[in-house]
Amino acid sequence: MKHPFAKYHYTGLYKLLSFREQLVILSNQLHASAPENVLLNKKDVLIENFISTFCEHDLADTDYADVHIEVLKFGTLAEYIQHTTLSLPYIVKCLTYFIWTDRIVNGYLESRIKDKSLLYLLSQLNSTLLEASNSEQQVYTA
pLDDT tens digits along 81-106? 888 899 999 999 999 999 999 999 99
Which pLDDT score is estimated for 32? 79
The more confidently predicted of residues 135 and 52 is 52
Q: 2 in a domain, yes or no?
A: no
- Of 77, 45, 54, nearest to 8 (Cα)? 54
Q: Check residue 137 and give its pLDDT.
A: 53
Integer Cα distance of 87 and 37 in angstroms: 38
Q: Is residue 1 part of a domain?
A: no
Confidence of residue 35 (pLDDT cuts 50, 70, 90): low
- pLDDT at res. 36: 64
Q: Count structural domains, the chain.
A: 1
Q: What is the rounded distance in angstroms from the CA atom of residue 19 to the CA atom of residue 46?
A: 8
pLDDT given at position 142: 39
Domain that residue 32 falls in: 7-141
* pLDDT of the residue at 139: 40
According to the model, what pLDDT value does residue 104 have? 94
Distance between CA atoms of 15 and 119, rounded to whole angstroms? 14
Q: Does the pLDDT value for residue 129 go beyond 60?
A: yes
**According to the model, what pLDDT value does residue 116 have?**
92
